[in-house]
Amino acid sequence: MSKIDPSTWWSLKVHTCGYKLNGPEWCWRNTGGPFWRLYANARAGHGVEVDGEYLPLGPDRVMLIPENVRAHCMGGPANGKLVPHIWIHFSIQPTLQMSHQGAIVLKCDRGLLDCVKRLRRHKLKLHTPDGKNMPPDKETAPPDDKLYHLCAGLLHECFARATLPAGPALPPKLRSLLELIEHSLGHPPSNAFLASRMGLSVEAFIRLFKRLLHITPGSYITQRRIQEACRRLTFTDETMESIAEATGYANRHHFSHAFCKRVGHGPATFRLRR
């Protein structure tokens, strides 16, 4: 029996997935955002450029692009044929433990290929939870539990094969605090409250947090609030006021100021660029 260290556990959150037949119009510059992406194509002809390197897509590989990695999607003629393209947008928590630079290309063995095929066979039911990008005849489709498990299964198969830098082993109490933060973005907890949950003084808690995660608790919480705002701006049609409230900002003006300070432009501009 092999023992699994619970301090290394992390969770996947699938935001959206889709299936589309693409042609040479699949050309998008500087795609990226506060979430990971998976691309799986059933035919050659498309590719992605990351850091000046062209990485072809095809039936023998799956590509993972980490959060905030900028990429250029490049479509080709594919010998006059459309390219069946599957994508999944997802997040990993805790975010900092899974940081990675550049795209990850995985050669498809039989197990990974079977996962891709099972998802592709489910293509007629593929839709996004918020209603975007649905096929016209599927606009009223109910939530699809099987779709979620197929996506999660494919992602777990990918990460079982990927070589990623190991994150720090976190004490169980600190991991619980990260989960608490995830569920409290609308009402961010104070350092004093978090320190008390750890049984430490505020100063000792900040030192421990920074030593393990290389960031202060306050900066980590602000980062997660802005990342959640980016996710909502990308995948939902929520109003700015609603997003501001959900991420713990007093009003739209306060939210826009904090967002611009972190991202470089306002949330309205960010949404238009998605």
236 with 135, same domain?
no
| pLDDT tens, per residue, the chain with 274 residues | 666 665 566 778 888 888 888 888 888 887 777 789 999 999 888 999 998 899 999 999 999 998 888 889 988 766 778 888 999 988 887 665 555 678 999 999 999 999 999 988 886 554 444 444 444 444 344 557 888 899 999 999 998 898 776 666 778 888 889 889 989 999 999 999 999 999 999 999 999 999 988 889 999 999 889 988 988 898 888 999 999 999 999 999 999 999 998 888 889 988 886 6
Q: Is residue 53 part of a domain?
A: yes
How deeply is 40 buried, as exposed, middle or buried, from its count of CB atoms within 10 A (0-12, 13-18, 19+)?
buried
Amino acid at 192: A
- The residue among 99, 130, 161 that closes a domain is 161
32 with 142, same domain?
yes
For residue range 175-207, what is the model confidence (pLDDT) as tens digits?
889 889 989 999 999 999 999 999 999 999 999
- The residue among 103, 126, 161 that closes a domain is 161
93 with 204, same domain?
no
125 with 202, same domain?
no
Report the number of distinct structural domains present in the chain: 2
Q: How many CB atoms lie within 10 A of CB 167?
A: 16
25 with 147, same domain?
yes
Domain interval for residue 137: 6-161
Q: Is residue 166 part of a domain?
A: no
138 with 264, same domain?
no
Q: Is residue 83 part of a domain?
A: yes
Q: Is residue 113 part of a domain?
A: yes
Cβ-Cβ contacts under 8 Å for 166 (sequence gap 6 or more): 8
